[in-house]
Structures are given as C-alpha cells and as structure tokens.
Structure 1
Amino acid sequence: MRRLPTPRTSVTAAICGLFAVLVAPTANAAPPPAPTPTAGPAQARALVASIGADRTGGAFYDAAGRFVVAVTDEAAARTVRAQGGTAQVVDHSTADLNAVRTALDQRIADTDPIPNTAWGIDPSTNQVTVSVFDGVSAADRKRLTDLVAAYGDKARVEELPGEIKETAYESLGGIGIVAPYGPTPCTLGFNVRDSSGKKYFLTAGHCASTDDERFWHREAGGIYLGKRTEWWDFGEIDKDYAVIEYLNDDVAAYGAVRAAGATFEITGSRYPDDGEAVKRAGAVSSDLVGQVINPSVTFTFPSGKVMKNMIETSHCALPGDSGGPLWAGTDALGIASGTNTPANASCNSAQNQYRTFFQPVHWVLARYGLSAF
C-alpha cells in the first residue's frame, strides 16, 4: 500500500530556513512555480489509450494528488506534457506487465489456484504486485515466489496478515439485507435502474447463490424488497454479483449510500483509478478513508474459487458487509466481495494492513443495460 509522506519539522530545519532567507541575495527572485497540469483524469486516460499499451504503464494518483501518466520513453512523455498532463518515465509497459499477470493467471489461478493470494498491475510502482496472505502453505508460497522471481523487477511479493474471506459476514456497505431462508445477512450495494425506470439493487453474488437466497428483505423491520433475477454470478465467470428486482411498491429506492450517519448521493458509475481515495460502507461498519491499491486484481478464496478483474483497496471490513458499496464522489465503483480483516478486528481508517476486494459495478451495469441513477 502506498503511504503519503509525513511532513517533518524541526528546530534545525527552521533555523536553516531562516538563515537561507537572511543570506539569499535579494536580486535572485524565487523561480516561478511549475505550471499546474491541465489534463484531468479522463483526458489522461485518453492519452494512455492513444499512445498505446506498448509505450505506457497506466495512470495513477501520486502522493501529491496529481494524476500521472506512466510512459516508457521521453517522446511519449513530451506528448503527455504537450496535452497538459503529468508524465513519469518508467521501465515497463502495460503490455509487459499484462504478460506477467496473464502468466500468473494461466500457471496458477487457472490450473492450480493458491488460496489467500492476489495479484494485479500497480501502475504507481510499475510492477505486478503479488499479495500473499495468511494460510498459504510453505510449498505454495515457494511455488508462487519462484515464479515471481523469474520476472525480476516487473513483479514483487508482499506479505499481509489474515485470510481472504467471503464478506457475507465481513465487509462494509449500506443498509443490512437478509434472505429469510438463507444463512447469511449481507449489505445492499447500490440501487440501479434500467432504461424504462424499473429499479433493482446490487449485492454480492455469493450472498444470493442458492435457492434459499432468492428473496430479500430489509434487515431493519423485515420489509420485503424483492427477488433475485437471473442476473447473478459467483465464480462461474470469475465474478461476484447479484441483481435483485424490487417487487414491493411500498419501498422507495433512492440513488444514495448511507454510511456513518451521512447520506452520499450516487449519480453514475465508472471503473476506479489506481491510487484514488475511495469510501466503503456496510451494514456492520463503515470505513470512509481508503485508497485503491489495485484497480484490477486476481485473487483466490480459501475454497479455491478464483476471482479476476476485481478492485483491491486499503479498507478493512467486518462480517455482514458483503455486497456493500465502494464509491468515490458521486460514482459507484464496486460491490464488496472479500477481505483479509479478522472477524474480531477493530475496523478503522488508521489501519493499513487490511485489504478488501470488490466486484466492479460498471462491468455489471454495462452487461445488463442498467445505470446507477
């Protein structure tokens, strides 16, 4: 996980700064500040696409909050700067790093999955980051690290505590929801609708994967909400989502998320950006301070079930928050799927050793012609 630099102050620094002011020639004016980049995230992503995966390494927010385009040569950097963007020259292209990730998928996830592992491209470090959580055997750890070592500085391994668990009892989100005949309370992710205005809501696919988990009620008051549609998946295509159709006319579904006593309006959806600040909410707890660690990651549950193209964040999560929403500003980003947070952990934004994984919302909405209000 990237950490923001900590400002340092000291008496020595203050004295040195004062001395520098006293002795500096008055004729030498301070250099003008660097121009503020004019390219926003959307324009920067368009630049990445136009330059191509062979000469770019993705885009990310740096520690100063700038949206940076990683490129592999100075000519590409000049193109980015000419368009008002911030460029950083890196060693490895997205195409090179995708080849590493694909190899890990093919040689491990698709053939002999290792539970409690995750990997994906991290544009901010220009590497494939491979996370190894608790519960990985010594033999599997060696198998994975030996494979990673073959790719040199294109990939790195990080050790993180806890196991990745399905968040039916463990992640954060909006209001609590229950299937009266099912075993697991979960969290409502986002309310969505189709082109005719028909309303649905999203939650995790593993919350609604059995016949006993078709009908859903609001946990508070037991108010009937609706029924699972045929639009759901848990693992068959490496996804974790369920779409529930509202069937109770007495229920008013709004395009908003409620967390920590506040209401956050949701007006659209998109894919996340590496390094951006994000919020997460759940029926059990909410963590409103977090960061996208990896916008597209492959991870494996202890059961051996593999999830691909998921979002990894620095949030913690607790039991009962599966399906809960991940968002930034007014944009819906993800649905809580798994976490390494222990069930008895204190979940707050001061912790950075936990990871929570989310199904991208935008993919689900695009697949079924839905929109997030």
Structure 2
Amino acid sequence: MALITAVLTVPSADAATGQPPDPPSATLAAQRAEEIRTTLGGEEAGSYYDAENRKLVVNVTSEAAAAKVRAAGAQARIVKHSLASLDAARATLKEQAAIPGTSWAMDPRINKVVVVADPTVKGKHLDRLTTATASLGERVTLSHSPHELRPVIAGGDAIWGSQARCSLGFNVVKDGQPYVLTAGHCAKAVQRWSEQMGGSEIAVTENHKFPGADFGLAKYTAADVVHPSAVNLYSSQGKHSSGGDDGGGGSGGGGGGGNMQTITKAADPIVGQKVRRSGSTTHVRDGEVTALNVTANYQEGPVEGLIQTTVCAEPGDSGGPLFDGDTALGLTSGGRGSCSQKGETFYQPVRAALEKTGAKLG
C-alpha cells in the first residue's frame, strides 16, 4: 500500500501592571498581533516577532497608539511611516513598475517597502523601476539580486507529471474526499500525477490558480494510497539551515521514508517566525519569515500575498509545505538563488488556499 505524506517544492509581564504575559510562541504572537491591529485604526504600521527575546513588536505612529500596544502586553515601536502610507507606495509600484523579475514587500523591521530586481531587469525596464522607486522617497528602498526570480518547478514526497516534478504540499479533504494541495504553477502544468516518473496515476488536477495566487488541488484517484496529514522529515535531515548541505539535495528523489511531522492546523505566520520547509529535491531546510503580503513578478505573471523567507529551495521543491511544528503555513511558490547560494523563497499562504478551494486539512 502506497504512503503519500505532505512535503513542500514556521517572559511574562510584570504582574503588578495587570498586563497579560508576552506570547510564548510565534503562532500566538501572530494571533495577538491581529487582535491588537484592530484597535489601532490608521496608526498601525506592521508587526514582527523578536524570536530571541520572545517578544511581539508592533509598529505604531503615535504615543497614544503605543500605549494601547503596551496595555495589550506587546512591545510598541514608534515609526515614521504608517501601514496606509506603505500600502500606497506598494499600489504605486503595482501601477508603474510591475516588471517581471521584481518583487516588493513591506519590511516592518525597517519600516520601508523593499524592492528587489533580478538580473533580467535592465535597460528601459530598469529605468522605469528606478524612476518609480525614486518617486516614493524614503518609503522605498531598491536593491539588486544576482539570482533570477522564478517558480521552483522541475522536478515533500515527489509527485510527478509528464511535464514536471513537484512536491506534495498538504493532504486535505474536500466534500469528504481526499485531495492533494500543492502549488498552482505545478497543477497548471500537470493534469495527471503519479508517485514516480512514468508511474500509475494517483491523482488528477481539479483546479488551480496561477498567476495571481499560487495554489492547486488534485483529487486522489488511487484507492491504495494512504494520505496522512503529515510532512516528510526525511529521517534526521530536519535541522539543516537553508544554506547547508543535507546530503540529499539535488537528488530528484521520490518518497522519503523518513520521520513524519503530523499537521493538525493551519495558520498565518508572522515576520520573525522560525519555519521549516520540506521538498523532494533539497529535503528539509529551515529559516525565518522576513515579510508578508509580498508581490513576486514572475515571468509568467505577478503573484500577490506571498510569504517571504530566508529558507532556500531548488527546482522540484515547488508545492512543498512550509510549516512550524504541527502548523501548516504555506506552499512553496518560487524564489531566488539556491541552497548553495543563500537563496530566499516565497510561499502561498495555506489558509488562503484552503479558503479559496473549500478544502480542509485531513
């Protein structure tokens, strides 16, 4: 009987003050950040998790808002640019500089929108990008990457189609039936999936969204396939950093047969959260969330609302899971660089994918 697991190609306050304790985990910090945000109106400017000190940091633009943050048990940081102002800068970039090979994200730790251009952005396109970013003043910073921005499709357990190899993201259930949730650019390229190259069919793509977003759903068709809500940890290869060599990267491998991480829930991450990714090419890698609501302008078209991390990935890791313990966070979409070049990656948030497909973990 085949076994297909999900793999993806995340101090107390002084009692005398009456404040609640600081969040003990990044997951709880993300939940508290959303609760605090609703009380701040237009004076909120993003938030992040200080993992070293286990502190939720909330950016605000006034002392009055800072007092609200402190009363809620988080650390307040007064900054210059409001979230509305930074969002307006992002809107201008979308209108004037949606150039393939670029990405942008609001970085709450520096209170700016960070724009990155890859080597394909040159000539008149680079001139247009430079003009657009300069017009936004100190709200935006422009940098250049030597690595091309791309979806990481190729060829986590590996799932194969005639046109591609990707990684299974999460096993899910829809209308009582088992499905595979993976990257949309994978599902767009492949109609019928198998466990190995040229193998028998195990699932058929039902729908996908790419570009715009990056998620796809394939229905299991093989009765002998067991599909637990778990991620393949590839035995002991679960503690390697994004830049390290796990001895299994680039193998183009199939199912791992290693340890499993049970997945019980889905959540949205927070900047600063430590996360892990599993994929059929580079297996398990770890890193940190660096931005949310990211726009990646792939050559195939823009994808918005992504999670950005310091985790590396390579072709074939697409679709695989981003997770933190038993919590599902995202699906590998694309990135720059590789695991030997200090790469960075982007992920489709899994909660949004579940909501839009009508599926649930299971």
Query: Residue 147 of structure 2 aligns to which amino acid in structure 1?
Result: G
1:175 to 154, 157, 169: 157
> Which ranges of structure 1 fall in alignment gaps of 5 or more residues?
1-32
**Whole-Å Cα distance in 1 between the matches of residues 293 and 357 of structure 2?**
21
Residues 61, 124 of structure 1: 8 Å contact kept: no
**Whole-Å Cα distance in 2 between the matches of residues 224 and 245 of structure 1?**
11
Residues 234, 241 of structure 1: 8 Å contact kept: yes
**Whole-Å Cα distance in 2 between the matches of residues 251 and 203 of structure 1?**
17
Which residue of structure 2 aligns with residue 252 of structure 1? 226
**Whole-Å Cα distance in 2 between the matches of residues 339 and 85 of structure 1?**
32
Which residue of structure 2 aligns with residue 55 of structure 1? 43
Q: Structure 1 residue 313 and structure 2 residue 302: aligned?
A: no
Q: How far did 1:223 drift?
A: 5.0
Which residue of structure 2 aligns with residue 190 of structure 1? 170
SS of aligned partner of 1:44: helix
Q: How far did 1:189 drift?
A: 0.6
Residues 187, 218 of structure 2: 8 Å contact kept: no
Which residue of structure 1 aligns with residue 135 of structure 2? 150
Q: Structure 1 residue 299 and structure 2 residue 279: aligned?
A: no
Q: Structure 1 residue 120 and structure 2 residue 97: aligned?
A: no
Q: Structure 1 residue 97 and structure 2 residue 77: aligned?
A: no
Q: How far did 1:63 drift?
A: 5.8
Q: Structure 1 residue 160 and structure 2 residue 114: aligned?
A: no
SS of aligned partner of 1:119: strand
Residues 287, 315 of structure 1: 8 Å contact kept: no
Which residue of structure 2 aligns with residue 241 of structure 1? 215
SS of aligned partner of 2:225: coil
Query: Residue 80 of structure 2 aligns to which amino acid in structure 1?
Result: D
Report the structure, 1 or 2, having the larger strand content.
2
Give a deviation string over 1:158-184, Cα, whole Å, max 9, x none: 2222101221127xxx000111xx221
Query: Residue 62 of structure 2 aligns to which amino acid in structure 1?
Result: D
Residues 270, 362 of structure 1: 8 Å contact kept: yes
Q: How far did 1:221 drift?
A: 9.1
Residues 169, 319 of structure 2: 8 Å contact kept: yes
Which residue of structure 2 aligns with residue 10 of structure 1? none
**Whole-Å Cα distance in 2 between the matches of residues 73 and 364 of structure 1?**
35
Query: Residue 269 of structure 1 aligns to which amino acid in structure 2?
Result: A
Q: Structure 1 residue 360 and structure 2 residue 337: aligned?
A: no
SS of aligned partner of 1:318: coil
- After TM superposition, the runs of 4+ consecutive aligned structure 1 residues lying more than 6 A away are none
Query: Residue 89 of structure 1 aligns to which amino acid in structure 2?
Result: I
2:199 to 222, 225, 228: 222
Q: Structure 1 residue 83 and structure 2 residue 72: aligned?
A: yes
Q: How far did 1:139 drift?
A: 2.8
Query: Residue 306 of structure 1 aligns to which amino acid in structure 2?
Result: P
Residues 124, 275 of structure 1: 8 Å contact kept: no
Residues 51, 273 of structure 2: 8 Å contact kept: no
**Whole-Å Cα distance in 2 between the matches of residues 203 and 367 of structure 1?**
13
Q: Structure 1 residue 38 and structure 2 residue 38: aligned?
A: no
- State percent identity of aligned pairs: 35
SS of aligned partner of 2:228: coil
1:331 to 322, 327, 336: 327
**Whole-Å Cα distance in 1 between the matches of residues 320 and 357 of structure 2?**
20
Residues 13, 21 of structure 2: 8 Å contact kept: no
Give a deviation string over 1:95-147, Cα, whole Å, max 9, x none: 111111111112222xxxx2211002111211111111222114322321221
Using the size of structure 2 for normalisation, the TM-score is 0.82
Q: How far did 1:287 drift?
A: 4.3
Query: Residue 188 of structure 2 aligns to which amino acid in structure 1?
Result: S
325-334 or 63-72, larger mean C-alpha shift: 63-72
Residues 13, 73 of structure 2: 8 Å contact kept: no
**Whole-Å Cα distance in 2 between the matches of residues 283 and 99 of structure 1?**
39
2:262 to 262, 265, 275: 265
Q: How far did 1:83 drift?
A: 1.7
Q: Structure 1 residue 372 and structure 2 residue 346: aligned?
A: no
Q: How far did 1:197 drift?
A: 3.3
**Whole-Å Cα distance in 1 between the matches of residues 285 and 152 of structure 2?**
18
Q: How far did 1:35 drift?
A: 4.1
> Which ranges of structure 2 fall in alignment gaps of 5 or more residues?
1-11, 24-28, 236-258
Following superposition of structure 1 onto structure 2, how do residues 279-290 of structure 1 map, counting pairs within 5 Å? 279-290=276-287
Which residue of structure 1 aligns with residue 208 of structure 2? 232
Using the size of structure 1 for normalisation, the TM-score is 0.80
